[in-house]
């Protein structure tokens, strides 16, 4: 009977030791699983933040592109207006030079006519 009690105690010790190791491994596995899940959650949050930042950047870039396009259009309009003004100024300058030549020519003709009248009054 003593041998039977000793064997039972030894077997219970072995089972307890085995159960403790299995329990410790299960706890360790649960901790590793929790750490892994936290890591996955952090990665998911980081991915969400990156996507949100990308969306904000995309909308900002789009609005900046619209503003740049509007500025370019305005610059083109101003350039066209300046070109038209330069053409008008050039045309006005040509017309003014022509008018000046015509005035000089008219003055010469008037002098000639005055001389002719003076000559004819002496004759």
Distance CA 47, CA 35 (A): 18
Residue-level pLDDT at 107: 94
With the C-alpha atoms ordered 60, 62, 65, 70, is the resulting torsion angle positive or negative? negative
Residues 21-74: tens digit of each pLDDT: 656 565 666 778 888 888 899 999 999 999 999 999 999 999 999 999 999 999
Residue-level pLDDT at 104: 96
Residues 65-82: tens digit of each pLDDT: 999 999 999 999 999 999
Evaluate if residue 121 carries a pLDDT over 60: yes
Distance CA 46, CA 57 (A): 16
* 35-to-41, 46, 99 alpha-carbon distances in Å: 10, 16, 94
Distance CA 87, CA 94 (A): 11
pTM over 0.85: no
In terms of phi and psi (left: phi > 0; alpha: psi -120 to 50; beta: otherwise), the region of 71 is alpha
Residue-level pLDDT at 71: 96
């Amino acid at each position: 009977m003593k041998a039977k009690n000793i064997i039972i105690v030894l077997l219970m010790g072995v089972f307890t030791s085995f159960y403790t190791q299995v329990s410790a491994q299960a706890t360790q596995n649960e901790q590793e699983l929790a750490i892994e899940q936290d890591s996955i959650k952090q990665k998911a949050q980081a991915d969400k933040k990156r996507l949100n930042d990308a969306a904000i950047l995309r909308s900002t870039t789009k609005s900046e592109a619209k503003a740049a396009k509007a500025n370019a259009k305005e610059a083109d309009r101003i350039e066209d207006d300046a070109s038209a003004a330069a053409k008008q100024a050039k045309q006005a300058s040509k017309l003014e030079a022509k008018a000046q030549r015509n005035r000089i020519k008219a003055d010469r003709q008037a002098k000639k006519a005055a001389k002719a009248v003076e000559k004819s009054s002496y004759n």
